[in-house]
Amino acid sequence: MQPPTFPQAHDPRALLRRWRAVARAAGLSWRVLAEVEAATIPLLTRQQAGAAPIYLSAGVHGDEPAAAWGLLLWAERNLPSLRAGSFYICPCLNPHGLRANTRADWRGLDLNRRFHLDEDPVCGPWRRWLSSQQAPVVGACLHEDYDAAGCYVYELGPQRAEIGATCLRAAAAHLPVDQRRSIDGRKAHQGVIRRSRIPQDLPGLPEAVVLWQLGCPRTLTFETPSEAALAVRIEAHVAFLQAMVALHQPPIPS
Ligand SMILES: [Zn+2]
């Protein structure tokens, strides 16, 4: 359950080998969402009666390795939580980008501007699959940002009962919160950018927005600063997920 060192952090096969072990240990179903250019893009699910599904996703941008490894380490350390709940998990939606250390996918495209497209070979199957399932109660889309001055979160959902700030405080045990008042051109308050509607100025729709369109009432896009140490960034993702899942799951008996 060790975090990866630098070259291994960009090896999607090493990442997915560890996910296979998690799937076996936690009873997650492993399905192939898409096969592109000799790479498998898996989707892991578990459905437990009475537990609302929680959506977790990473690896949309390949030059943001702490997101993908943070999700894995959270899973490896929380097998009882996985066994007790319902989850939809996309561990690595852009394996070519992870291997090449690029934001773009194998076509040179930004996958996170294509989730509205039924014809996309990754986003299309993702859309069709998610549309046929019970909508998740909450979703986390994990990312990193080269311009960030600390961690921050986009929260898309109802104005009341914010949870992004709570999850961000958990991550702040590892990395400072980005205190800028404007992040990525959007108004921010103590690292939280809040949205209750879809922004109109997007060049294409990201995963978190389409997840919300498809019925998930709250999506959190968590970002760590790419220039901090990799192991610390990974721990910040783990802490963020730990807090988010705890808020949506009854306590697990030990
Ligand atoms: Zn990203």
Q: Give the pLDDT of the chain (254 residues) as one tens digit per residue.
A: 677 776 789 999 999 999 999 999 999 999 999 999 999 999 999 999 989 999 999 999 999 999 999 999 999 999 999 999 999 999 999 999 999 999 999 999 999 999 999 999 999 999 999 999 999 999 999 999 999 999 999 999 877 667 999 999 999 999 999 999 999 888 999 999 998 777 777 789 999 999 999 999 999 999 999 999 999 999 999 999 999 999 998 777 66
Asked if residues 16 and 68 have their Cβ atoms less than 8 Å apart, the reply is: no
Q: Which of 94, 75, 61 is nearest to 226 (CA)?
A: 61
Centre of ligand 1 from the C-alpha of residue 48, in Å:
30
Q: Which of 166, 129, 120 is nearest to 53 (CA)?
A: 129
pLDDT at 253 (0 to 100) = 67
* Dist. CA 218–CA 158, nearest whole Å: 7
Centre of ligand 1 from the C-alpha of residue 197, in Å:
20
Q: Which of 202, 208, 78 is nearest to 130 (CA)?
A: 208
Consecutive H or E run containing 211:
helix 207-213
Centre of ligand 1 from the C-alpha of residue 100, in Å:
15
Consecutive H or E run containing 52:
none
Largest Cα span, the chain: 47
Q: Selecting from 3.40.50.720, 3.40.630.10, 1.25.40.340, 3.90.1150.10, what CATH number does the domain 6-248 have?
A: 3.40.630.10
pTM of the shown model:
0.96
